Structure 1
Amino acid sequence: MSSNYILSWHESVKNTAGSKAKDDVTSFLKEDGFKVIDTPCGKIAKLLYVYLVLPFIFMMIRKGNIVIQYPTGTPRILKHITFMVKNISGANLIFVIHDIYSLRRFGDDFHDSENELALLNKADGIVSHNSHMTAWLKNSGITSRITDLEIFDYLTPNSIQPLRDYTGSLCLAGNLKKAYFLDNFNARSPLYIFGPGSNDSYNNNIKYMGVYSPEELPEHLTYNFGLIWEGSNTDTCNGAYGEYTRYNNPHKVSLYLSTGLPVIIWKQAALADFVTKNNVGIAIDSLNNIDDILSNVDDEQYRQMKENTDRIAQKMRSGYYIKKAVHSLID
């Protein structure tokens, strides 16, 4: 009987990729033989479950590993769940990190930051996004065992996009409210954008293509490259989100690659290492010279990138990265 468990926490957001990464981790680990501890939906039902049902479930688990996706619920609930795993169960606690608030906000509130790091330090093992995030965690005093995910996997029933003629076409998917740089995007190359929060006053080269659920979106991404860019500036990624990309794995990169789209990413983003090492896209300093960058790619270079992307897409669709990372901690 499996002694590995994953706690599944249901978020209540629609048509955003908010809970997709967590749902995928749960699906892939379930496929790998992990038992799912399934929390109910609804605020009150969740609270009752955490305080009245979970203690008994944890009490029955005398060995093995319990995976909790970080963050889960409110900070108070997560602290309580962590306490129970460590003090009531006999299992090891593994955190799979999705977001680190101290990093995302750059430690605006030192007290919050201290609390977060103290909680992370309770884990027996941590799956961090990449080597940059891991270095930050260690420098911040985390002594738990840490392994790198490399990149988020992505579960999708859609087939991988076929190789298309290379025309330098570029698309962007995501919450457009936060894509401030679009106001300053003046390239000649058209940019096809998808997502909620679009603006009526974009330049003519920006084509708005609508909103789709995370399940439907991949079949509409029929372009040569997917763009990852943050902040208000086209010259560099800036602001809190821009800074955050130096450490995190944006889920958008996984959406593009699993769909079969090579990516264009900021050179200083943590995931630029993965993109260049696997030759699944181009790392750039600035969006201001995007026209030249796109026109300098020849058909053969693009075909090679696309082939590499399809190979990575197959791995991501099977949960290769999360399974490998978790097993490196528990085996």
Structure 2
Amino acid sequence: MNGPLYYIRQYSDEVYEHGGVGYTDIEKILETHGYKMISLPDRGSVRAFTFFSRVRSLAGYILSLEAGSTVVFIHPVFARMYRLMIGLLAIKRIRIICILADIDGVKDGDDNLLRKELRFLKRCDAFVVHNSMMRKWLLERFPGARVSALGLFDFLVKPIGEDRIKTSTLVFAGNLAKSGFLVHLHAAGLEHLQFNLYGPGPAAGIAALVNVSYKGSFAPAALPMLLEGSFGLVWDGDSIAAPAGSLGHYMSLISQHKLSLYIVAGLPVIIHSSAACAGFIVDAGIGFAVDDLRSIPGKIKALPEESYRLMQYNMKPFAEKISHGANLLQALAELAG
């Protein structure tokens, strides 16, 4: 890209135990590849002093960034001062690239919030989205926008090279509190599967289910080597029959952070057939898709050992790209010029 490159630093100081680590890794990749940091002073204990300090810093950036610069930011933007900054930079003809990491209005099923998000996003010149399905969704709302896709979120950890063996043990990692289907893992048709759960917020009683083991919550960088099982499950919503509710619908648009986790951990992936990433997983030969969780036991039984080993082998080049930040860098390169 021509001109100076900047990024707005929002997430690097946050501590995550689940998917949000993707946000911090995005900022790390930008920092190490020539993007200069834009950061307002943290909110302090003296609110009035901090407010004026942030306003002064904001004004300094607006005045100093020259036309022709590029500023990259991650959406959502929660701080009002950063939202104001992005609007002012757009007026100044600074090129604004949005990494559309989440669309909360869709995720939460909140149409009013979605309208507010779309009004805010109108000021952007280009977008990096998750995948081709999200690109289609965005272009329906902003025809003619410049859009590139990550495909997979980067995860800056060393891939796990150990081979796994095929069993009926599944891993599910993430924010367990929002995964309502977990309370139904004891249902008929799933009793021959074992589920190992990782992450914060398991609902009361889940760990007591005979085929469920809660393994705990861990720092993201340590998690790939701790995952015990043969497959990584990508699912959301409240039902085992199909991803349901707004979170289930959201699966049809996004590339899940846990998908990248499973790939670097060498876990072949099981995903619902309507998910945005289902076609990629099947075509790349790194897992399989199902319409109902109760279809999984039969699919595992019918999967030859050789095919399971091939899935692990097929994951290796994707794991290398993910672990080096190559997906984000490629997506940004497509928007150059």
TM (norm. structure 1) is 0.90
Q: Which residue of 1 aligns with 2:198?
A: 194
Cα deviation for residue 300 of structure 1 reads 1.1
Cα deviation for residue 53 of structure 1 reads 0.7
* 1:64 lines up with 2:82 in the alignment: no
Count of paired positions:
326
Q: Which runs of 5+ in 2 are unaligned?
A: none
Contact 1:39–1:46 (CA under 8 A) maintained in structure 2 = no
Q: Which residue of 2 aligns with 1:102?
A: 105
Which of 158-167 and 315-324 deviates more?
A: 158-167
Which of 159-168 and 120-129 deviates more?
A: 159-168
AA at the equivalent of 1:160: I
Give CA-to-partner distance per residue, 1:124-166, whole Å, 9 cap, x none.
111111111121112224543111221111111x441411222
Q: Which runs of 5+ in 1 are unaligned?
A: none
Contact 1:161–1:222 (CA under 8 A) maintained in structure 2 = no
Q: Which residue of 2 aligns with 1:165?
A: 165
Q: Which residue of 2 aligns with 1:20?
A: 21
Contact 1:10–1:41 (CA under 8 A) maintained in structure 2 = no
Secondary structure (helix, strand or coil) at the match of 1:73 reads coil
How much identity, in percent, do the aligned residues show? 28
Measure the CA separation in 2 of the matches of 1:311 and 1:46: 46
Secondary structure (helix, strand or coil) at the match of 2:218 reads coil
AA at the equivalent of 1:308: N
Contact 2:171–2:196 (CA under 8 A) maintained in structure 1 = yes
Measure the CA separation in 2 of the matches of 1:284 and 1:46: 52
Contact 1:97–1:129 (CA under 8 A) maintained in structure 2 = yes
Within 5 Å, which residues of 2 pair with 1:1-331?
3-10=4-11, 13-17=14-18, 19-42=20-43, 47-48=51-52, 50-62=54-66, 63-74=68-79, 76-88=80-92, 90-109=93-112, 112-156=113-157, 158-186=158-186, 187=190, 188-198=192-202, 199-201=204-206, 202-331=208-337
The alignment yields a C-alpha RMSD, in angstroms, of 2.2
Give CA-to-partner distance per residue, 1:155-179, whole Å, 9 cap, x none.
11x4414112222431111122222
TM (norm. structure 2) is 0.89
Contact 1:95–1:127 (CA under 8 A) maintained in structure 2 = yes
Residues 218 and 57 of structure 1, relative CA distance in 2, 3 Å threshold: same
AA at the equivalent of 1:194: Y
Residues 41 and 297 of structure 1, relative CA distance in 2, 3 Å threshold: farther
Residues 100 and 47 of structure 1, relative CA distance in 2, 3 Å threshold: farther
